[in-house]
Amino acid sequence: MNIFQKKPMVAGLDPQTTNRLLLAELVLNSINDGVVIIDQNGLVKLLNPAAARMTGNADYSDALGLSYLSLMKLETGEGMVVPDSQNPLAKAVVNNQAWESRNYYLVTPQGGKTPVMITLTPSGGRTADRIITFRNIAEELAKEGEQTEFISTASHEMRTPVASIEGYLGLALNPQTATIDDRARQYLTEAHNASQHLGKLFQDLLDVTKLDDKRVRMNLVPVDVTNTVREIAGRQMTAQNNKHIQYTFGVEDGGGDKMQIDQLTYAMVDIDFLTEIINNLVGNAIKYTEEGGRIWVSVRADGDDVLINVTDSGIGIPPENLSHIFQKFYRVDNSATRTIGGTGLGLYLAKARTEAMGGRIWAESVFGEGSTFYVALPRISQEEYERQMTVQRNTQMMPIKPPVTTTANSLSGAAMKAVASQPAPMVAPQPTVAPAPTVAPAPTAAPAQPSQNTTSVIQ
């Protein structure tokens, strides 16, 4: 069957073009990856046999002209149906953005489920078509599951001795506990830095294996994202900024934009996930920005989303690297980054956590000038926020076991959540006041006044 159109496609074309189209058709018919091409209105222009199989459409020519959303129903790894209004693929389609994810299952009307890697590629041509592909990753996931278990056990076992090495090196470097000469200090400082790097690597690996394995249980609670992000980012800037970087939270120009200040930015989020995401983005902004540079964090409502952006005036990311930075272990390798430490796992984790909360993450950058990272989370209305707050309050009033204690500043927030079974008492009782109590109060960062604009140089 001709998969391109219901009518024969070769009429009126020269033989060479016809031949090329027939070859393209042959390829599309024979591959196991699903390919769907949709127009700018989301209507299916092409669907290959693999796509038809995976979406449960026996007669794929019937699918032509239908909305792709009616064909492709997605579920999360936790078995939650993704509503069209929160479908990250749909958002990427509307924004005509490149997007990819391995976090969803394709569900057929017959009840079949296939774990897939989905990619969306804007065609880039004159037509404004979008190309959606999906690959069955069931076997990959099974193999990764075995590897994950090994990595998880190994990281767990190695973390303890590394922490002990780091602790002893810290003692050796502390003038109150040891006396050493300058050369020894230099060597031990190097060793201490390396052991810290190793500790972070093991922790990131553990977090990756838990997220990949879907072993982390999310606890979505209603929050005012503006206040929560302001606090997390402020605390991170206070703790890590030793480069005299100018930090701004809120509207960039000092408050002309009243619309942004009045916007409601409520969302259902997992506080530990959000904390890790913001810590990573702000931590990177500090790491990849030079002395005296500038970082700007803001939160605003953007249609159905709450949009967080973290902008820096740092080293930037070359265009050829930009599409890879959310991959596992990917680090840009050039003269600007070679001396900056990192594991290449932070953005992978940030993407996995964002997508687990139904959101999207992406970046824009100009090499040599700076970068902006965006996190879009599904926005809820004030009524929904208040309803969810009531649900939370009622849940908390129910007699429950003593809550599991967690520390706010832990790198292993996600890991801890895996054992915490209570809804964390993380939301302030009133809509307008500040964020989650599980996020330790920022020593100096969160401003008391209502304005969103804070500019400071934190040393």
At 99, list the tokens: 């997007």
- In contact, 299 and 342? CB cutoff 8 Å: no
In angstroms, the CA 196 to CA 192 distance is 6
Q: With binding defined as CB under 6 A, does residue 389 bind ligand ADP?
A: no
Strand partners, 389: none
To ligand ADP, the closest distance from the beta carbon of 243 in angstroms equals 13
Q: In angstroms, rounded to a whole number, what is the distance separating the alpha carbons of residues 184 and 192?
A: 12
Query: Looking at the DSSP assignment, which residues form a beta bridge with residue 452?
Result: none
Total interface residues for ligand ADP by CB under 6 A: 22
Least CB distance to ligand ADP at residue 253 (A):
22
Binding mask 349-388 for ligand ADP (x = CB under 6 A): ----------------------x-----------------
Residue 289 DSSP one-character state? S
Which C-beta is closer to ligand ADP: that of 168 or that of 330? 330
346 contacts ligand ADP (rule: CB under 6 A): yes
Amino acid identity at 233: A
In contact, 277 and 306? CB cutoff 8 Å: no
What is the distance between the alpha carbons of residues 161 and 199, in angstroms, rounded to a whole number? 10
Nearer to ligand ADP, 233 or 325 (CB): 325
Place of tokens 């990753």: 137
How far apart are alpha carbons 218 and 221 in whole angstroms?
Answer: 9
DSSP-derived letter for residue 122 is E
Q: Does 196 bind ligand ADP (CB under 6 A)?
A: no
Residue 342 interacts with ligand ADP (CB under 6 A): yes or no: yes
Of 202 and 385, nearer to ligand ADP (C-beta) is: 202
DSSP state at residue 241: -
Pairing of β 34-38 and β 44-47: antiparallel
- C-beta closer to ligand ADP: residue 359 or 378: 359
325 lies in the binding site for ligand ADP (CB under 6 A): yes
On whether the CB atoms of residues 140 and 328 are closer than 8 A, the answer is no
Q: Which is nearer to ligand ADP, 54 or 317 (CB)?
A: 317
Please work out, in degrees rounded to the nearest 5, the angle formed at the alpha carbon of residue 447 by the alpha carbons of 445 and 453.
100
Answer for the pair 444, 238: CB distance below 8 angstroms, yes or no.
yes
Report in angstroms how near the CB of residue 412 gets to ligand ADP at its nearest.
16
* Tokens encoding 80: 């939650």
Among positions 120, 172, 267, 345, the unique one binding ligand ADP when judged by CB under 6 A? 345
Q: Is 347 in the site for ligand ADP (CB under 6 A)?
A: yes
Work out whether 285 is an interface residue with ligand ADP (CB under 6 A). Answer: yes
Of positions 56, 77, 199, 344, contacts ligand ADP by CB under 6 A: 344
DSSP-derived secondary structure for 31-56: -SSEEEEE-TTSBEEEE-HHHHHHHT
Residue nearest to ligand ADP (CB): 342
Contact 305, 377 (CB under 8 A): yes
Q: Which of 67, 70, 240, 337 binds ligand ADP (CB under 6 A)?
A: 337
CB of 159 to ligand ADP, least distance (A): 17
For the purposes of burial, counting CB atoms within 10 Å of the CB of 199, is it exposed (0-12), middle (13-18) or buried (19 or more)?
Answer: middle
- Which is closer to ligand ADP, CB of 136 or CB of 343? 343
Contact 269, 275 (CB under 8 A): no
Is 343 an interacting residue with respect to ligand ADP (CB under 6 A)? Answer: yes
Report, in Å, the least distance between residue 332 CB and ligand ADP. Answer: 3
Tell me how far, at minimum, the Cβ of 370 lies from ligand ADP, in Å: 7
Helix (H, G, I), strand (E, B) or coil at 304: coil
The minimum distance between CB 354 and ligand ADP, in angstroms, equals 13
Q: Which stretch binds ligand ADP (CB under 6 A): 129-137, 143-151, 218-226, 278-286?
A: 278-286
- Count the helix, strand and coil residues of the chain and give each as a percent rounded to the nearest 5: 40, 20, 40
Residue 327 CB, shortest distance to ligand ADP, in Å, is 8
**Per-position x/- string for 287-316, each x denoting binding to ligand ADP as judged by CB under 6 A, each - no binding:** -x-----------------------x-xxx
Segment interacting with ligand ADP, rule: CB under 6 A, options 83-91, 205-213, 245-253, 330-338: 330-338
- Which of residues 315 and 434 has its CB atom nearest to ligand ADP in the complex? 315
Length of the chain: 459
Q: Is the distance from CB of 163 to CB of 203 less than 8 angstroms?
A: no
CB of 164 to ligand ADP, least distance (A): 24
User: Can you give the binding site for ligand ADP, defined by CB under 6 A?
Assistant: 280, 284-285, 288, 312, 314-317, 325, 330-332, 337, 342-348, 371
